[in-house]
Amino acid sequence: MQELDLAPEFVEVAGVRTELRQEGAGRPILFLHPGMGIGLDGSSAFVRRMSEVGGVLAPSHPGFGASELPSWMNSVDDLAYFYLDLLDKLDLRDVVLVGASLGGWIAAAVAVKSTARLCSVVLLDAFGIKISGRETRDIADVHALTRTELSRRLYANPTADTRDFASFSDDRLRAIARGRETEAFIAWSPYMYDPKLIHRLHRIDVPTLVLWGAADGIVAPDYGRAYASAIPNARFHLIDGAAHMPHIEQPIAVAALVASLAGFHQKSRVPA
């Protein structure tokens, strides 16, 4: 599983120096990456396939990669407002918003606040809601798992995680550790969810697709079904041969579903 093979550029968004990679042209596709030390690693095939139908933008979240994390930013809610600022800064319109895992939670938080610049939303094995009782864990504690166990839960084929950390540069290792630290900082208590989000999902008024790896060992498909049922007119679809990272294990299938959703719902919601 390699780094995303696109050279980064930097933009300033609301005073935050932000690492951004871009590929393709046409309707913008904003991809919000997962956490768990993965970030944009392994997403090259998915980004390349999506760039055939639109212009993909893949930022590193604040506190991940080489993006700054301002002292006042300490929640997923803050990241959602940050991405609304990014949409304004880059004047993006009719955006296909795609988020995976932690990035899916952020995408949902963006969409409940405003869909004015969005044409559709795709959530890939997204965190962010609570569906069970107080004493029941919906999401595995990824910080308590060994690397072997984490890989087994993240991937239908555990050998998909081929990263050799011993061969990584100090800068790359530092970025991975920093991302894990940031994820824990913004999503630890309560663990990986916002108790209010599920009550706000009805505000998402653009076509929404909830995709879930059939073998997800981090958060089960029933969680995804509950997510979809809380969003008006959302569709739920299982991805065979994938666990928690379907965009890495099944990039062609996921890209085809994203493209299909975006192609059927074209609209301009921001006045010129």
The mean pLDDT of 24-53, rounded to a whole number, is 94
The answer to whether the CB of 38 falls within 8 A of the CB of 161 is no
Structure confidence at residue 165 (pLDDT): 86
At 251, which helix (H) or strand (E)? helix 251-264
Q: What is the pLDDT of residues 55-105, one digit of tens each?
A: 999 999 999 999 999 999 999 999 999 999 999 999 999 999 999 999 999
Neighbour count for residue 134 (Cβ, 10 Å):
5
| Identity of the amino acid at 192 | M
DSSP state of 239: E
Res. 265 pLDDT band, cuts 50 70 90: very low
Domain 9-264 has CATH 3.40.50.1820: yes
Residue 174 has pLDDT above 50, yes or no: yes
What does DSSP say about strands 16-23 and 55-59: parallel, antiparallel, or unpaired? antiparallel
The answer to whether the CB of 21 falls within 8 A of the CB of 58 is yes
C-alpha distance from residue 78 to each of 74, 87, 98, 186 (Å): 7, 14, 18, 9
Res. 10 pLDDT band, cuts 50 70 90: very high
Domain ranges of the chain: 9-264
- Maximum Cα interatomic distance, the chain, rounded to a whole number of Å: 51
Residue 256 has pLDDT above 80, yes or no: yes
- How much is the mean pLDDT over the chain? 93
Gap between the terminal Cα atoms of the chain = 41
The mean pLDDT of 40-63, rounded to a whole number, is 95
Residue 262 has pLDDT above 90, yes or no: no
Structure confidence at residue 166 (pLDDT): 87
Res. 159 pLDDT band, cuts 50 70 90: confident
| Identity of the amino acid at 193 | Y
